[in-house]
Structure 1
Amino acid sequence: MNMIPILFEDGEALVIDKPAGLPLDRPRAGGIALEDRLDSLKLGFQRAPSPVHRLDTDTSGCLLLARNPKSLKRFSKAFEDRQVEKRYLGVVAGPLSESEGTIELALSKISSAQGGWRMIAAKKGKPSVTHWKKLAEVDGLTLVEFRPETGRTHQIRIHAAAGLGTALLGDPVYGQKDSRAPRTMLHAAGLTVHREGKPPIVAAAPLPETFTRLGFTDG
């Protein structure tokens, strides 16, 4: 079992580079989940760390773990109070006519017996805001930087599909599967968490091989 890379470590926090394909919670069908790996991330502490926020199974990159209950409470509040800066990189399945912008769409959850649940843009939903910037275009695909202000479920995925008009490459829910992408092409590239009386937590996760294989670089 490969070690999960650690991007930041101090007495109250870890930031790991979560691999794509690793769910946080155990899937109904069984299989390995992050909860199985938490003991290996004690790093000398008696207590295993706890995830503060969520990343989709397909999404790779920066995931903040709290090393004790007090810091878990504090960091959770920082996310609620928007004291956290998040930077995502995504590949969308097509060109973009504009170079940057802001997407504001209220999001709501729907479910059906056939298709399961998904998020939709709906006036009565919860407000959500994402700033985006085009970084590069290769072979008709576009690398986009996303900086979400809010943290709604599937926010960037639905904002790409409904706000940019072109879904993330390989997204089976809001776009379609694609032979060029083994997964939904979204990566949590950077995370900054502000702390009172302490330096901020700052972490950056390198661009995965699934992105570089398509000809993209971060920088």
Structure 2
Amino acid sequence: MTNITILYENNAFIIALKPSGVNFHSEKEAGFVVQTSQKTGIPLFPVHRLDKMTSGLVILAKSSEVAAQFGKMFENREIEKYYLAISMRKPKKKQGWVKADMGAARRGDYKLLPTMNNPAITQFISCALRTHERFFLIKPHTGKTHQIRVALKSLGSPCAGDERYAAAEEARKEDRGYLHAYALRFVFMGEPFSFVSPPNEGERFVSTECINQLKIWNKPWELF
């Protein structure tokens, strides 16, 4: 059983922390959702998902009705999400937007397309940490599969440890994939909620330089 932290719970939903390297849905073994249900003793309904390499904040509903409510909120872009990433490559630009349609590439990868029919929209700022490390604070305005990972690759700065979108040999030397779901902000049933959870696994994420920068980025919604 994976060590899963429940950050918040009420009668409608819970906020749990997904560790890096754990499948969201069950494959050969119980995934994050099933393990969290087992930990809480109640059935839980996912309303969004994180890739296996990604750690951080996840909303899990306690009923299908609440899950449907959150589904509509995501669809209407009423839930703000903020992510952290570290790359070992300098980006083409230090802040701004990545906007483009996404399409399937080889081996289950995705890529940006030269069209804007239904674009993935990603906003970001960044700063330097230690030698070669670039630290990103990212606000996705849409929720497409691999959106942030593809956006960072398009900037020439794939996530460190991302065996799919970074150089595989280099990525395998890392202790994790460096993408973390850092903060959530939304209004549910008239009540405002905000959650911020810094990463606690991965040598690069727990460096003194990273921790100090997160003191500056502790209210990410004020930076966009």
The interval holding the TM-score normalised by the smaller chain is 0.7 to 0.9
- Judged with a 3 Å threshold, the aligned counterparts in structure 2 of structure 1 residues 90 and 157 are, in CA distance, closer, same or farther, namely same
Q: TM-score, normalised by structure 2?
A: 0.84
- One-letter code aligned to 1:176: A
Q: What is the CA-CA distance between 1:36 and the residue it aligns to?
A: 3.2
Distance in 2 (CA, whole Å) between partners of 1:135 and 1:212 is 16
**For 1:23 and 1:173, how far apart are their aligned partners in 2?**
15
Q: Which residue number corresponds to residue 36 of structure 1?
A: 34
- CA deviations 1:101-146 (Å, max 9, x no partner) are 11112111234xxxx2111111357311111001332111111000
CA RMSD of aligned residues (A): 2.0
Structure 1 CA distance for aligned equivalents of residues 33 and 93 of structure 2: 41
**1:185 matched to which residue of 2?**
178
The aligned residue for residue 78 of structure 1 is: 73
Q: Which runs of 5+ in 2 are unaligned?
A: 216-224
Given residue 212 of structure 1, which amino acid in structure 2 is its aligned partner? V
Tell me how many residue pairs correspond in the alignment.
Answer: 208
Matches within 5 A, 1:87-102: 87-96=82-91, 98-102=93-97
Q: What residue in structure 1 maps to residue 220 of structure 2?
A: none
In structure 2, what is the Cα distance between the partners aligned to 1:160 and 1:78?
Answer: 26
Match of 1:50 in 2: 45
Q: 1:104-123 alignment to 2 at 5 Å?
A: 104-111=99-106, 116-123=107-114
Aligned to 1:26: 26
| Contact 1:78/1:194 (8 A) holds in 2 | no
When normalised by structure 1's length, the TM-score is 0.86
Task: Summarize the Cα distance change of 1:53–1:169 in structure 2 as closer, same or farther, 3 Å threshold.
Answer: same
* Partner AA of 1:100 in structure 2: Q
C-alpha distance in 2 between matches for 1:166 and 1:78:
31
Match of 1:173 in 2: 164
8 Å contact from structure 1 (residues 22, 32) kept in 2: no
Provide the C-alpha distance between the structure 1 equivalents of 2:84 and 2:56, rounded to a whole number of angstroms. 10
Instruction: Tell me which residue corresponds to 1:103.
Output: 98
Q: Secondary structure at the match of 2:22?
A: coil
Residues 1-10 or 68-77, more deviating: 1-10
Contact 2:4 2:36 in 1 (8 A): no
**Which 5+ residue runs of structure 1 have no aligned equivalent?**
none
Question: Mean Cα displacement is larger for which, 91-100 or 146-155?
Answer: 91-100
More helix per residue: 2
User: Structure 1 stretches (4+) deviating beyond 6 angstroms?
Assistant: none
Q: CA shift at 1:214, angstroms?
A: 8.2
1:126 partner SS: coil
2:5 match: 5
Structure 2 residue 200 is matched with structure 1 residue 205? no
